[in-house]
Amino acid sequence: MSREIAINDFIHRLLTEHGYDEKVDRADSLILSGVLDSLAVIHLVVFLEEQFGIDFSDIYFDQTSFDSIEKISEFVKNHQPSSS
């Protein structure tokens, strides 16, 4: 499964679990728009750590880097360890 598909599927499941039923496209704002709340962002970070081996303790967290599926996918591409 491609990185963006995995991220897209996870975010759509997360939104459904949080009662959000509107369609979200890959470039739609998620955090700055309030679609994802702080708890959902924590779930997203844990997913990215587990799924892609990203260590957030060494990375500056900027919410604009996570504001869309497209940006999250690019962030993962840039920070995923090469061995994963």
Number of residues assigned to the chain: 84
Contact in structure between 26 and 69 (CB atoms under 8 Å): yes
* For residues 27-32, average pLDDT: 94
Structure confidence by residue, pLDDT tens digits, 14-29: 999 988 888 899 999 9
Pick the CATH number of 3-79 from 3.40.50.720, 1.10.3720.10, 1.10.1200.10, 3.40.50.2300: 1.10.1200.10
Is the pLDDT assigned to residue 30 strictly greater than 80?
Answer: yes
Residue boundaries of the structural domains of the chain: 3-79
Structure confidence by residue, pLDDT tens digits, 36-83: 998 999 999 999 999 999 998 888 878 888 899 999 999 999 998 875
Confidence (pTM):
0.87
Predicted confidence at residue 1, as pLDDT, reads: 63
Q: Give the tokens for residue 16.
A: 């459904």
